[in-house]
Amino acid sequence: MTAVAVARAPRRPAWRPALGLLVLAIVAALPAALSPYGLSVAVTVCFYVVLAEAWNLFSGYTGYVNFGSAGFIGLGAYGCAVMIWKFGWPWPAALAAAAVVPTAVSLVALPALRVRGAYFAIAMLGFAETARVLCGSKYLEPVTNGSVGIPLTPGLGITGLFYLMAATAAATVAVTYAVARGEAGLRLLAIRENEAASRVLGIETTWYKGAALLTSAALTGVAGGIFAIFLAYIEPDAVFSASLTLQTMLMAAFGGLGTVFGPVVGAVLLTLVIQALSTYLLQWDFVVVGAVLIAIVLLIPEGVLPRLQRRFAHWRHRGL
């Protein structure tokens, strides 16, 4: 895993907190500046920021490839939707359920952490597929309304949805930042580089991997819950779609795996590009998305942000 750069800056530049505040101010002012359509694009951008960053928090740092991101999204969406539609919960409580349901169900997936690489990746793909089929099956129909799906009208406007999604995105980045800058981040990276060696050094690898996976599941689940309200109608094929996992991985890999801000950059840039191109691409969108993923892994395996940072460091060395 040496190809993926480790973004652990030796010292923090003074402009970082100022930039953070500026981003917060811009995000807070967005609803006033954007049309409802523009705001719905902004919700989508924040949604993918959560997905890419939460995916990165687990897969980027531990090197365990999670093909089951859509499972967390779908379980979060269903956790939220069922509570509102079936039990009449208010949306804040339903969003709590959106975090709890995928996390609780992921406990089942924890044994898969015994195996690395492709075994784990395919097991997680199976996790998402099993959840999709069960949510649409006749056995869960009394709760999930089967393959018909669930309509949602919880009385949250687009502005409220935007602030919720943006807050979730900020929280996800903050959690990743805290983990990455702390000891936990180092331990997760040690697992990625050499799991056996890190266990010999006394790192409780199982605990760290599990905690990272469950955190990733909870954050992705909340985003899935808000996304469900945003969609206003959900059905299994829409919220468990494997293409959600693909886009998540693409954005995280594009920005840079195992870095804090890479996936954010990847999610913002690529969501906007895909949105802008969607009118031209029509049904070719996934062909392009898949091809770009292949191209990135082949051409810029460490991600765009680390590459730019290296460029920048190089200039700094030459006194520019």
In the complex, least distance from residue 4 CB atom to another protein, rounded to whole angstroms: 8
**136/154 with CB nearer another protein:** 136
Cα–Cα distances in Å, from 238 out to 43, 44, 189, 281, 313?
17, 15, 33, 20, 43
| 301/263 Cα distance (integer angstroms) | 13
Restricted to residues 66-95, the positions that interact with another protein (CB under 8 A) are 67
| Between 59 and 168, CB nearer to another protein | 59
Binding mask 93-132 for another protein (x = CB under 8 A): ---------------xx-xx-xxxxxx-xxx-xxx-xx--
Considering beta carbons, is residue 163 or 240 the nearer one to another protein? 240
Would you give the distance in Å from CA 164 to the centre of its chain? 15
Write the burial class of residue 208 (CB in 10 Å: 0-12 exposed, 13-18 middle, 19+ buried): buried
Beta bridge partners of 151: 233
Taking the complex as a whole, the smallest distance from the CB of residue 194 to another protein amounts, in Å, to: 12
CA quadruple 260, 263, 266, 268: dihedral, nearest 10: -90
User: Judged by CB under 8 A, which stretch of 21-29, 39-47, 82-90, 286-294 contacts another protein?
Assistant: 286-294
Smallest gap from residue 246 Cβ to another protein (A): 5
**Pairwise CA distance, residues 251 & 263, whole Å:** 6
Residue placing its CB nearer to another protein in the complex, 116 or 181: 116
By CB under 8 A, which span of 34-42, 45-53, 133-141, 183-191 interacts with another protein? 133-141
User: Rule CB under 8 A: is residue 206 a binding residue for another protein?
Assistant: no
What is each CA distance from 155 to 184, 232, 238, in whole angstroms? 40, 10, 22
- 168 vs 198, which CB is nearer to another protein? 198
Selected binder of another protein within 229, 253, 265, 305 (CB under 8 A): 253
Minimum distance from residue 102 beta carbon to another protein (Å): 17
- Binding interface with another protein (CB under 8 A): 1, 3-4, 59, 63, 65, 67, 108-109, 111-112, 114-119, 121-123, 125-127, 129-130, 133-134, 136-139, 242-243, 246, 249-250, 253, 257, 283-287, 289-294, 297-298, 301
